[in-house]
Amino acid sequence: MSMMRREVAWRIFADELNNSSLETSGDDERSPSYIISPLGAKVNRVYAVGVLTEVDNRGTPEEPLWHGRVSDPTGTFFISAGRYQPEAATALSNIEPPKFVTVVGKTSTYRPDDDTMLISIRAELVKEVTEEQRDYWILEAARGLKTRLEAMAEASKMEEVSVRELTALGYDPTLAEGIKKAAEHYQTHGLERYWSMMGDALRYVLPEYEQADTFDRPAEAADEGLTDRVLDVIRELEEETDEDGVSYETVRDAVITREGISMSEFDEIISRLRRHGKLLEPALGQIKSAY
Amino acid sequence: MNEKELAPHIEDINRALKGKVNSEQIEEELQKFRSEYRISLGDAKRAIVKKFGGDPLELYLNPEKKINEIRGDERSLDIKARILSLQDKEIEIEGKPKTIFYGILGDDTGTVPFTLWEAKSLDLEKGDTVHLKNAYANTWNDQPQVNVGSMAGICILDDHEVPPFEREPQQCMVKDIREGMRNLVVTGRILSLEKKSFQTDDGEKDLFSGVLGDESGKIQFSAWHDFRLETQQVIRVTGGYVRSWRGIPQLNFDDSAEVETLDDSEIPSSDVLKDSSNMTISQLARRGGAVDAIVDAVVIDIKTGSGLIFRCPECNRVVQKGACRIHGKVDGEADLRVKGILDDGTGALTMIMTRELTEEVLGYDLDRAKELARDRMDQDIIKDELEELMIAQPMRIRGNVTSDEYGLMLVATEVKFKRIDVEAEARRLLDEVSV
């Protein structure tokens, strides 16, 4: 007997989601497509709680298309709601940032080129919530992250990652599939970054945590010079254009040519600049210096 | 894929190439296609057969298989098996109703679920021994299942052509019980018991049904023989079999089974068992359903048709804009309910809350809800209030979970808001991982 299964809503931090570069489609056109995160979350739907920082209408007054940015302790979710998400669209248009909100929606991807995948959430539900609810979400997201990190660590011990072995270790079959795909696609080293991200996110809910930027880790401080130079490149390119921001690829090509860094190093710098609020994303695939 | 997983595929290729190429060479090729070029298994197999001058079609002509050899990706499958259970079901294909059949097939190596998609010319019964040709297999919840489509052939065989399935009785925890299992050994405490009498051709018969529980969960059972069962008894049933009702597995045992009464200390008391059946939604989905399950999750959506609704006095259907879908314009009777989506990060299900539970969550009753809606001249305000109260709140929900083609559904019997000390939990997690 075949059964329609509603896609689970993943509790996933923005950083992990936005760092995904793998998408799988099912066997036939009716089966849904999934984003495979670097830690094996097989995401079609997301449940996020964070701070709505910006809302704007990128459609027309008659046919609005609302875009919003929702921040969690690790980064930003890009959300949208238009005519096919009437309830979420109405909700988005009525909330004045900054507010704590919950967002449930399906992921949607945009590929400006073969190497870049930008991810946004088409919101099915947007609702104002309390800070306590946000904190609870962080806890849930951290738990999920921990499970995936542990599963990835198990997978890295295997010569060939096996769904069956992962399931035997007690991991959910869906996660086990995602872990296998992630292990094949992404570099499996560098998980420490996510462990410390989890620690930072959890400390965020503790009362002693003040707005200090816990994301400035020593490793990051070392490339401070490089980060500043990337920002300089963006500002230079901005002066050459009349548009609102510069396309992601233009910046990337310029930076990679000039600094001789790798694609993933570049991505790392860009997401760090975003986290620090030094970069804005006026439209999906466009970046712009904040000042 | 490791060597063991690749072996059956190498065998397929080998057979299609009629042994012209040695297995090592095939394995090397297959690894190359898979690891270097990331070609799907099916395409890789075709390509290799073609490369060595074989006919890829040969790949699909599988030899007869035993049930425990079915992997779930066979495009053509020949099996001889006995129909252990058979049920029909109405489905709709492109707007037209159609009857399909589904059930369990068994041979001496095991059992497998199957579906007959084209059954017009067939008069099959439970217990028939059949030869299925050119069926195909896929997987559902990681379990292989056999499909008999329009390209398949079925003929009925003599009973003795398939040896009976005789397996050592297997010990099973309640939560691991799945549809189609046979010859089970289950130990549990009888939590409730009811006797029903019904008429058969051989006169009046008694059925003893109830709920059996162990540390892992609860299951409904039906005893088709008077074993002198009593509530609170701890029993061990040897020789039970499992049937499902709307996805909920049920344990059945008749006079061929053996029932022993065990010492009370073998199974925790019913007070302990009451809160034992905590399950993730993913576990519930794999199982198909459960009796008195407990789910920790959040509500992430409250559907239209929640809050204050009006039902047709004739058929109880929800009335929309004053009209019932069947009975037209009616004077609807007010009711309260919640139809929401529960999601725990492992899966999602539809939850139904009846009037009593909805009133409990709202903190007022139906009459007050009617009053509020009338004052504001807006029926939807109750739904809005439920969204306000329930969405993104950690909850513990208890209820029976069933499944059908629309997915899992939980009818709640208890709804609690969980109070979570996020700070303490976060500190505990930080200590645990020390990052």
- Give residue B246's pLDDT: 80
The CATH number that applies at residue A129 is: 2.40.50.140
- Give residue A216's pLDDT: 43
- pLDDT tens digits for range A155-191: 998 988 999 899 999 999 889 999 999 999 987 667 8
Residues A232, A120 share a domain: no
pLDDT of A214 > 70? The answer is no
Residues A222, A130 share a domain: no
Closest chain B residue to A8, measured at CA? B347
For B281-417, the fitting CATH number among 2.40.50.140, 2.40.10.120, 3.40.50.10860, 3.20.20.70 is 2.40.50.140
Judged by CB atoms closer than 8 Å, whether chains meet at A135 and B422 is answered as yes
Judged by CB atoms closer than 8 Å, whether chains meet at A203 and B394 is answered as no
Please report the number of interchain residue pairs, chain A to chain B, with beta-carbon separation below 8 angstroms. Answer: 118
Nearest to A104 among B140, B142, B300 (CB): B300
pLDDT of A18 > 90? The answer is yes
Binding-face residues of A in 121-180 toward B, CB within 8 A: 124-125, 127, 129, 132-133, 135-140, 142-144, 146, 159-160, 162, 167, 172-174
Nearest to A146 among B281, B298, B433 (CB): B433
Instruction: Mutation target for A interface from B4, B282, B300: give the one with most A CBs within 10 A.
Output: B300
- Give residue A278's pLDDT: 79
Tell me which of A105, A135, A165 is where a domain ends.
Answer: A135
Q: How far is B169 from chain A (nearest CA, A)?
A: 23
Judged by CB atoms closer than 8 Å, whether chains meet at A4 and B405 is answered as yes
In CATH, the number for domain B64-161 is 2.40.50.140
Domain presence at residue A183:
no
Nearest to A8 among B347, B391, B393 (CB): B347
Domain presence at residue A13:
yes
CA dihedral A251, A257, A260, A266 (to 10 degrees): 10
Closest chain B residue to A197, measured at CA? B435
φ and ψ of B425, to 5 deg: -65, -40
For B170-272, the fitting CATH number among 2.40.50.140, 1.10.1660.10, 2.20.25.90, 3.40.1080.10 is 2.40.50.140
pLDDT of A219 > 60? The answer is no
Domain presence at residue A25:
yes
Q: Higher confidence at residue A143 or residue B24? A: A143
Mean pLDDT over A30-53 rounds to: 93
pTM > 0.80 = no
The CATH number that applies at residue A285 is: 1.10.10
- Give residue A217's pLDDT: 43
Residues A116, A25 share a domain: yes
Using H for helix, E for strand and C for coil, what is the string for chain A? CCCCCCCCEECCCHHHHHCCCEEECCCCCCCCCEEECCCCCEECEEEEEEEEEEEEECCCCCCCCEEEEEEECCEEEEEEECCCCHHHHHHHHHCCCCEEEEEEEEEEEEEEECCEEEEEEEEEEEEECCHHHHHHHHHHHHHHHHHHHHHHHHHHHCCCCCHHHHHHCCCCHHHHHHHHHHHHHCCCCCCHHHHHHHHHHHHCCCCCCCCCCCCCCHHHHHCHHHHHHHHHHHHHHHHCCCCCCEEHHHHHHHHHHHHCCCHHHHHHHHHHHHHCCCEECCCCCEEEECC
Q: Which residues from A are below 8 Å from B430, CB to CB? A: 199, 202-203
Instruction: Tell me, yes or no, if the two domains B64-161 and B170-272 fold the same way.
Output: yes
Mean pLDDT by 10 residues, chain B (435 residues): 76 83 87 80 84 80 77 84 85 83 85 82 80 86 83 84 73 86 91 89 87 92 93 94 86 91 91 84 89 94 95 90 88 95 96 97 96 93 96 95 90 95 94 81
- Give residue A201's pLDDT: 94
- For A56, the domain range is 9-135
- Give residue A213's pLDDT: 47
For chain B, give every domain's residue range: 3-60, 64-161, 170-272, 281-417
- Give residue A221's pLDDT: 47
Tell me which of A93, A109, A135 is where a domain ends.
Answer: A135
Domain presence at residue A275:
yes
The total number of structural domains that make up chain A: 2
Strand order across the beta sheet in which A279-280 lies: A246-247, A286-289, A279-280
Binding-face residues of B in 317-376 toward A, CB within 8 A: 341, 343, 345-350
Domain presence at residue A160:
no
Q: Which residues from A are below 8 Å from B348, CB to CB? A: 6-9
Whether chain B has a CB inside 8 Å of the CB on A38: the answer is no
Domain presence at residue A241:
yes
